């Protein structure tokens, strides 16, 4: 029989995990943005948990790189710099490729879970359901990573994914990005179902590089249209 103290620790861990999942999902969906401050009291009231539980959840997410402590202000969602972004995607590309390669022998024998998830992704794109697409996109990659059956790889992918949820979500609101991602997922599925681990790895890596490039393009400032600049200059001259 488990002792009461052990049972309490297990319950507390489960509650902390629930709080962590709630924060991660809010960041992934855009409910919490980069630089936004998180207040312990807000989460204790909204989730009905103790401040100690919220504090532990914050600490774990700071260790994962999703949150950071700002002096004199408290905990906030970490802002990802351009250098952070390049470093994260360089490693993530290699890890996602390895995950696809390791998962292929497993998923090629029982591919239905991956196929069903991809079909639901297709339906989300058809319906223009961005929220559903974001959730299913995460599920799609999780299926592959978990099938790789490597806890170290799984943990590394989770930590890297947590740090860039907010920038990924911004790209997925565009239909052309969802369509492009869907096509890349299809190539990964085809390779895995066909049992070609090398192709699965290559397509998974290509998918990550494509995602990184789309995010970079979105983050670049748009140039002011020439006509708008001319019009602004004409008004300035007219006011003189």
- The conformation of residue 79, written as its DSSP 8-state character, comes to P
- How many C-beta neighbours within 10 Å does residue 168 have? 19
pLDDT above 90 covers what percent of the chain?
A: 56
Residue pLDDT, tens place only, 69-108: 998 889 999 888 888 889 999 999 999 999 999 999 999 9
From edge to edge, which strands make up the β-sheet containing 74-77? 37-38, 74-77, 67-70
**Element spanning 67, H or E:** strand 67-70
In the chain the domains, ranked by start, together with CATH numbers, are 4-77 (1.10.10.10), 82-219 (1.20.120.530)
Residue pair 159/62 in contact (Cβ under 8 Å)? The answer is no
pLDDT band at 228 (very low <50, low <70, confident <90, very high): very low
Tokens for 206, please give them. 């290509």
pLDDT, position 174? 75
Full-model pTM:
0.77
d(CA 165, CA 30): 9
Q: Copy the structure tokens of residue 234.
A: 């004409």
The span from the CA of 185 to the CA of 23, in Å, is 27
C-alpha–C-alpha distance, residues 136 and 138, integer Å: 5
Give pLDDT, residue 32: 86
Instruction: Give the pLDDT of residue 12.
Output: 56
With a cut of 70, say whether residue 230 has pLDDT above it: no
More confident residue, 226 or 188: 188
pLDDT of 146 reads 97
* pLDDT (tens digit per residue) in 127-183: 989 889 988 999 999 999 999 999 999 999 988 887 776 667 666 667 788 899 999
């Amino acid at each position: 029989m488990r002792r009461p103290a052990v049972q309490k620790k297990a319950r507390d861990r489960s509650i902390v995990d629930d709080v962590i999942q709630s924060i991660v999902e809010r960041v992934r969906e855009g409910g919490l943005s980069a630089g936004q401050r998180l207040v312990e009291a807000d989460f204790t009231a909204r989730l009905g948990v103790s401040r100690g539980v919220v504090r532990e959840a914050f600490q774990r997410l700071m260790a994962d790189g999703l949150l950071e402590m700002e002096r004199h202000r408290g905990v906030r969602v970490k802002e990802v710099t351009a250098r952070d972004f390049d470093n994260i995607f360089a490693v993530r590309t290699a890890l996602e490729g390895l995950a696809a390669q390791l998962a292929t022998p497993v998923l090629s024998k029982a591919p239905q879970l991956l196929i069903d998830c991809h079909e639901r992704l297709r339906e989300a794109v058809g319906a223009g359901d961005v929220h559903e697409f974001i959730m299913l996109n995460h599920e799609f990659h999780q299926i592959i990573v978990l099938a790789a059956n490597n806890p170290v790889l799984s943990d590394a992918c989770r930590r890297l994914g947590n740090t860039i949820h907010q920038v990924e979500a911004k790209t997925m609101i565009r239909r052309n990005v969802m369509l492009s991602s869907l096509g890349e997922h299809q190539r990964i599925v085809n390779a895995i179902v066909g049992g070609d681990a090398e192709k699965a790895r290559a397509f998974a890596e290509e998918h990550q590089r494509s995602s990184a490039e789309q995010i970079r393009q979105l983050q670049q400032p748009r140039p002011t249209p020439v006509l708008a600049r001319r019009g602004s200059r004409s008004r300035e001259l007219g006011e003189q």
